Structure 1
C-alpha cells in the first residue's frame, strides 16, 4: 500500500512540474480517433459515434467505466453492483462489444460474465469514443454491436505539458476517490504518470434490493435476501492503479511505451462476505510515422501485452474460481497516397490469448489465435463521400481436456450426498479439440451533403463473428453468479447484415441527429435460461444451492431500433438538450431475446455564466414488457440527476463541483442486467469534489 501512495505522490509532482512548463501547455485532441483511420471530424463519420470528453466526461464519470457510458443514446449497461458492469450497445453485449484502451483490446475477461469488471477506471480517462453498430472492417467480428475506446494518453502523442487532479467524496456508497494525471516534456522526450485510488462502502438503495416480482415468483428468495431495506450488502470496493509512460518524438513521428497496473477488491452481494480480487498488468508499445516518401505515406504500429488474474472468493480464504488471461493484441497499418482521388489504409491485426482456470471446473484452459488483414478506402465526390472496406480473418481456438461439473439434479446436504439423495451428477469429460473459423467482413457507406446544414449518412455492413471460447466450451457452475453455464462446441460462425441511416442537422450552435438501424442475424449466438436448476454444495454449508442453467445456442434474430439526440442553444447562458433510443430484438420464431433495454427518453437544461455552471437532466426508462422465456418484466423509472460547478478565481484553475443522483429516489433496475431483480441501483445521493487542471 505504501508503494501506491508513493506513486500517487510522484504523479502529483509530475503534475506540478507540468505547471512549471505552463508556457508550453498543450490542449489534448478531442476529436474522435476510433472509427476512421484517416482522421476526420465527427460530422464526416459514416457510422454513428458519440464522444465523451472535457466537461461532458467530467459530469458523467461514475463508479465504473460502464456506468459512465450509461444514458448515451443506444448505450445501457449490465451491472453487478455499483462498481462492476459492462456496456450494452443496441441490446448487444459480451463478445459483440469490443472494449479498447487507446485502440487496443482490453484483454480482460469481462465479456465472459457480467460479474467480471472492466479493468479501466474512468477517473484517468481523457476521452471515450463510442461506436454504435458494426465496426468489423477495422476491428473484427467482435464489434458487430459496437466499440468503446478509452483514451488515456498514457503514451503521449504531443510534446508539451499538461496535468489534472481530482478528489471526490460522498455519493450513495460513501465514495472516497482521488486521481492525478500529468505529462511533462523535456525537448523531444515526454513523460506521463497517472495514479488513482477509489474506496467505497455498501450501496444505499431506495428500498429492498430484491424486486417484489422475483420474491413472488420464487419462494426461496426474500426481499431482504441481499441486505436490509435501504442497503445492498457486501457491495463495497477498494480500487487502486496507475501508469507510467513515455514518448520520444522524431521529425516525422514518435515511438512510445507505457506500463499500467490495476487492482480491485470488490464485494459480491450474492454472498455475505465473498469478494472478487482482480489484478491486471499491461504493457503498451506504439509508434507512428507520417509524411513518408513512396507509395505509403503513413505508418502506424500499436501493440499491448496484458496479464490478467481474477480470484472469486466465496468467503475470505476460500477461492472458488480463478480466471487468468495472458494476451497480446496489435495492429500494423499503412496509409497510402491518393489513387484516383481515393485515400485509405491497409492493415494487419493479430491477437493471441491464453486463458486458464487452474482451480475450477467451469471452463477448460484455452488458447485463441486470430490474424486478419483489412483495407479501408474513402473517395470524395465533390462535397460528398463514399467509403468501402473489407476484412479477412482466421481464428483458431484450442481447448485442453477437462471435466466439467454441472451439479446434482436434486438438492442434497453435507450429510447425504447427491447419489445417496437419489440424484444424478451432471458431470461431463471433454478431450482436447481445436476449432478453426474463417471470417469475411465488408462495409460500404457514404455521406451525402444536402446543404450546409443537413447531411445524410448511411452504412451497409456484412459481419461475421467467430464464436468465443467461452461460448464453445464452458460446462459447470459459476458460483459467483449462482449460474451453471453450458457451451456448444458445434456453434458455427455468426452472420449478420446491418443497415444504418443518420440524418444530421447543425446551425448556429443548434444540432440534431436521428438514425434508424436494422440488423438481421443468421445464427445469433446467445446465452439462454433453460428454466432448469442444478445444485451445488459450498464447502462449510449444510445444504446445496440451486443454480439456474444457462445454455449457449444459435438462433435467427432481428434487431431494429432508433436513436436520436440534439441540443438547442436558447441564449448565451442556457442550452437545452434531448435524446432517446429504442431497440426491439426478436428471434425468428417470434420470441423476444433476453436482457433488451426498453424505450428511453431524456432531456436536460444547462446554465453557464462566468465561473458558474449548472445542469439538470431527466431520463425516463419505460417498462420492459417484451420479455424472453424465464424473464421477469421490469418497471419504468425516472432518473433525475443534477450537476453544478464553480471555478475558483485562483491561478491553478480549480473547480468545486457536486453531483446529485436519482433525486426522486426511485427504484432503478436495468433490464439489460442478469441481476436486475436482485441488485437495485443507487438511491438519492450527492457527491462532492474538487478538480484542478494545470
Structure 2
C-alpha cells in the first residue's frame, strides 16, 4: 500500500509535465514567486521590519525556501526548520512539535503568520499543535535572538514567521497562476497534497484560493518504543503486578515494555482551506483573507500506564470494576481572518503607512477514546500599524504600534489554567543609519500587558506589567560589492517579558508535563541582557554565517518540582523565578568545491551549541545538545544529488528531574529532478532519511522516553507551478 501511494504521487507529477512543457520559459513574475529555487542556501532576508535593509539588530536571521523547503517539509513547523543552526523542536508527538530557538521555547518564542501572531493555544502546552501548515508556506523566516522589538515580549527568545500568499503580494503576469505539491513517505504512510490558484482580475486586483490535506498512520520506528531504562521499569512493575495476582495488568505492562517497530497512537489528519483578495496600485494596497484549519492527531502514551487496575478493598466489598481508558487524541479547529493595507504618503518624512490585522477563533478538544475530555477555546485579535520613514542619506527606519486582546477558556477535568483575558499594547521604533561601510542600528519598544483571570470560585486576579526592550548594534562591511557582502558586527540588547496566565495561575494536572502544575501570582517580568557578535554574508559563491552570544536573565521563569506530596498521583511542579545565563555559538558555511561547465559540487557545514545555567548552578532543563550537519550536493544538468550527515551529541548536562539522552547520527540522501531545460517550474524529489535506521530521541521532548524519531523513511514529492 505504501509503495502504491508513492507511485500515485509520481504519476501526478508526470501528468502535470506535458502542460509545463508547453511553456519552457517562465515569466519574470512566475520565476520569482515559484518554489523551485535550486540555489537556496543564501541567507535571503525577507524584511519584516519596514524601512530596514538588514535585520542585524535582531541577530541571526535565516529563510527556508525553494528546494530546501521542499526537502525539509514536515507536518509541523518545528520539524520543518529543525535542521537550521540554532533551531530545534519540542518533538512531543508527530502531530505536535513547536520550534525551539537557541534552547528557548514556549512563551519565549512567537510563531507568526505573515507577521501577525498565530493566536492559538500552542504555546500553552507542548501537546498542542500549531495552526500553521508548512504545506501553504512560500517561505519561513527564522529570527534568532530577541525579536521582542518587532513582535512583542513573548518573542524574547526569537520568532518564526511563516510567509504565505493568502493575501497575494503582487498581481501575477499570467491570467491564472497555479502552485501545487503532492508528497508521501513510508515511515508514516503519509499522503499529502496542497494547491493554490491566483486569478488576475485586472491589472490591479487578484483573487487567491488554496487548500491542503494530509493523512498519516502510526509512525514506523527503528526499535523499542521505550528507552532501556523505561523498559526495565515497566518489566519490574509487570513482575510486581504478577506477584499480586493482577495478571491482566502485568501483561499490559509487559506488552508496553516490548512494544517495537511502531509508535502507537501517533496518527494525524489535517485539512486547510483559504481564500484571499488583494488590490495593488504602486505602493498602495489593500487585502483580506480567511482560512480554516482542522486537525486531529494522536498523543502517544506512556506504555502500560493508560490502564487503571482494581484496588484492594475491605473484606466483603466487591472489587472495583476494571477500567480501560481509550487512547488520547486531540481535535482542533481554527477560523482566521486577516486584513492588510498600505498607503503611499508621498515624499515627506514618512513615505508609507502600513497596517496588519488578524482575528482567530480557535477550539481544541482532548479526547480519551470517544469520551470528550478537556476543551480549550481561544479567541483573539492582533494588529499593528507602522509608519515607514523615507530613506534620507542612509538613514531609515519605522515607528509603530501594536495591539492584541486574547480570551482563553478551558473546561474539563484537566483545565489547569483558569479562564483569562490578556491585553497588550505597545509602541516601538527601529532605526538604521549607514555611513559608508559602517552600519548603525537601534530600536526600542514599550509594552503594557494586562492579565485578568476569573477563577471558578467567583474570585478574580488582575496583574499589569510594563516591559521595556531596547537594542543597539554596529556592523562593518569587510567586503562590499555587487556580488560580495561580508559584514561583522556586534549587538547589545535588553529585552523584557511579562509572565503569562499559565505561569501566574496554573493549578491542575497537565498531560504534557505529566505533573500537577501550580503557578505563582506574584511573578514579575523576566529581563534578558544580551550580547552577540557575528560575521555574515558572502564572498562570491561562498556563504558564511556565524554567531556567538551570551544572555544574562534576571528573574528567569521556569518549572521545577515542589517539595510537597503528590496530588492525584502526579508530582507537583511549580513556576519559580531565578537568575540564569545562556551562552551559545552557531554557524553555517557553504562553499562551491567545483564549479565547472554543467557541473557544480557544493559543500555545507553547520552546527550549534547552547549552554544554559540557573543561578544556583543547575542546568536549565531540556536544552538541546550540540549538533551539526555536513552535506555535499552535486548539480548536474537536470539533477541535484545531495547527501548529508546529521549528528546530535549526547546530552548529559541535565537538571535534577530529567534524564540524559543518548546522541545519534542520521545519514540522509536525496535526488531532485528538474525535467525542463531553462524552466524550474517542476521539481520531483526522491529522498531517504535515516538510511541506516538509527534510533534517535530528542532531548527537548517531554515524551522522549517513549516517542523516538522515525526510522528509515523513503519520501517522494513533487512541486509544480505554471
The alignment's TM-score, normalised by the length of structure 1, stands at 0.88
Using the TM superposition, give the Cα deviation of residue 217 of structure 1 relative to its aligned residue in structure 2, in angstroms: 5.7
SS at match of 1:57: helix
Higher mean displacement: 551-560 or 164-173: 164-173
Deviation track 1:481-522 (CA, whole Å, cap 9, x = no partner) reads 533221111110101101111023522211222210000001
Partner of 1:460: 492
Q: Distance in 1 between matches of 2:396 and 2:680?
A: 44
CA 1:180 to 1:340, structure 2 compared with 1: closer, same or farther past 3 Å?
closer
- Is residue 450–residue 462 contact of structure 2 (8 Å, CA) maintained in 1? yes
Deviation at 1:52, TM superposition (A): 0.4
Name the residue aligned to 1:133: 145
In structure 1, the gaps of 5 or more residues are: 1-11, 404-429, 537-545
> Alpha carbons of 1:647 and 1:326: their partners in 2 closer, same or farther (altered >3 Å)?
same
Q: More displaced, 292-301 or 59-68? A: 292-301
Match of 1:36?
A: 49
Whole-Å separation in 2 of the counterparts to 1:340 and 1:649 = 45
Rate the CA distance shift 1:641–1:312 in 2: closer, same or farther, 3 A: same
The equivalent of 1:669 in structure 2 is 697
Q: Secondary structure at the match of 2:154?
A: helix
- What is residue 59 of structure 2 aligned with on the other side? 47
Which residue among 542, 545, 553 is the counterpart of 2:576?
Answer: 553
Structure-2 separation of matches of 1:257 and 1:454:
39
* SS class of match (1:598): coil
State how far apart, in whole Å, the 2-side matches of 1:693 and 1:58 are: 13
For the 8 Å contact 1:659–1:686, the answer to whether it is kept is: yes
2:225 aligned residue: 209
- Which residue of the partner structure matches residue 235 of structure 1? 266
**For residues 602 and 46 of structure 1, what CA distance do their matches in structure 2 show?**
24
Determine the C-alpha separation between the residues in 2 that align with 1:580 and 1:113: 28
In 2, Cα distance between equivalents of 1:61 and 1:138:
27
Partners of 2:188 and 2:585 lie apart in 1 by: 34
Deviation digits for residues 396-418 of structure 1 (CA, Å, limit 9, x no counterpart): 00000226xxxxxxxxxxxxxxx
Structure 1 residues 364-403: aligned runs within 5 Å? 364-402=418-456
1:74 is the counterpart of 2:90: no
Kindly state the Cα deviation for residue 437 of structure 1 after the two structures are TM-superposed: 0.3
Which stretch has the larger CA shift, 673-682 or 268-277? 268-277
- Verify the 8 A CA contact 1:34 1:103 in the aligned structure 2: no
Give the alignment of 1:62-211 within 5 angstroms: 62-160=74-172, 161=174, 162-187=177-202, 188-211=204-227
Cα deviation for residue 41 of structure 1 reads 5.5
Partner of 2:501: 469
What's the CA shift for 1:46?
Answer: 5.5
Q: Is 2:336 the counterpart of 1:313?
A: no
**Structure 1 counterpart of 2:256, from 210, 219, 225:** 225
RMSD (CA atoms): 2.5
What's the counterpart of residue 530 of structure 2? 498
User: Hey, what does 2:283 align to over in structure 1?
Assistant: 252
CA displacement 1:633-670 (0-9 Å, x = unmatched): 00010011222121234989433221211112111111
| Offset, 1:98 | 0.5
Q: Does 1:444 align with 2:434?
A: no
* Partner Cα separation in structure 2 for residue 172 and residue 75 of structure 1: 23
Secondary structure at the residue paired with 2:33?
coil
Structure 1 residue 295 displacement after superposition: 2.8
Q: 1:687 maps to what in 2?
A: 715
User: Offset at 1:612?
Assistant: 1.0
Match of 2:311 in 1: none
Shift of 1:605: 0.6
- C-alpha separation in 1, matches of 2:54 and 2:496: 28
Q: Is the 8 A contact 1:166 1:178 kept in 2?
A: yes
Measure the CA separation in 2 of the matches of 1:40 and 1:223.
60
Residue 49 of structure 1 and its aligned partner are, at CA, apart by 0.5
Aligned equivalents of 1:151, 1:119: Cα separation in 2: 14
Q: 2:355–2:386: 8 Å Cα contact kept in structure 1?
A: yes
Shift in CA distance, 615/41, structure 1 to aligned 2, threshold 3 Å: farther
Structure 1 contact 492–523 (Cα < 8 Å) conserved: yes
Structure-2 change in CA distance of 1:494 and 1:23 (3 Å): closer
Aligned pairs for 1:523-672 (under 5 A) are: 523-530=555-562, 534=566, 536=568, 546-572=569-595, 573-649=600-676, 653-672=681-700
2 CA distance for matches of 1:104 and 1:97? 13
Correspondence for 2:539: 507
Partner of 1:522: 554
Partner of 1:416: none
1:450 is paired with a residue whose SS is strand
Q: Closer, same or farther in 2 for the Cα pair 1:512/1:307, shift >3 Å?
A: same
Change beyond 3 A, Cα 1:570–1:449: same
Q: Deviation of residue 455 (structure 1)?
A: 1.9
How many Å separate the matches in 2 of 1:633 and 1:240?
A: 37
* Counterpart secondary structure, 2:594: coil
Q: Equivalents in 1 of 2:417, 2:160: separation in Å?
A: 27
> What is the CA distance between 1:35 and its match in structure 2?
4.7
Shift of 1:64: 1.5
Whole-Å separation in 2 of the counterparts to 1:296 and 1:164:
36
Residue of structure 2 aligned with 1:353, choices 401, 406, 427: 406
Moved more, 473-482 or 154-163: 473-482
Q: Single out whichever of 31-40 and 580-589 deviates more from structure 2.
A: 31-40
Task: Give, in whole Å, the separation in 2 of the partners of 1:533 and 1:330.
Answer: 45
Aligned residues of 2:58 and 2:146 also touching (Cα < 8 A): no
In structure 1, what is the Cα distance between the partners aligned to 2:91 and 2:237? Answer: 23
Q: Is contact 1:226-1:233 (8 Å) kept?
A: no
Counterpart CA distance in 2 for 1:492 and 1:45 is 26
Contact 1:157–1:254 (8 Å) recurs in 2: no
In structure 2, the CA distance between the partners of 1:451 and 1:373, relative to structure 1 (3 Å rule), is same
- Report if the CA contact (8 A) 2:57-2:491 is conserved: no
**Relative to 1, partners in 2 of residues 1:475 and 1:383: Cα closer, same or farther, differing over 3 Å?**
same
Of 360-369 and 276-285, the range deviating more from structure 2? 360-369
For the 8 Å contact 1:168–1:690, the answer to whether it is kept is yes
Contact 1:210 1:224 in 2 (8 A): no
Give the SS at the match of 2:293: strand
Number of residue pairs matched by the alignment: 644
1:502 and 1:513 in contact (8 A); partners too = yes
The 5-angstrom pairing of residues 427-438 of structure 1 reads 431-438=459-466
Q: TM-score, normalised by structure 2?
A: 0.85
1:55 counterpart SS class: helix
Rounded to whole Å, the distance in 1 between the matches of 2:58 and 2:463 is 34
Structure 2: runs of 5 or more not aligned:
1-14, 35-39, 239-252, 307-325
1:505–1:553 Cα change, 3 Å = same
Q: State whether residues 222 and 712 of structure 2, in contact with CA within 8 Å, keep that contact through their aligned partners in structure 1.
A: yes
Q: CA deviation at 1:450?
A: 2.5
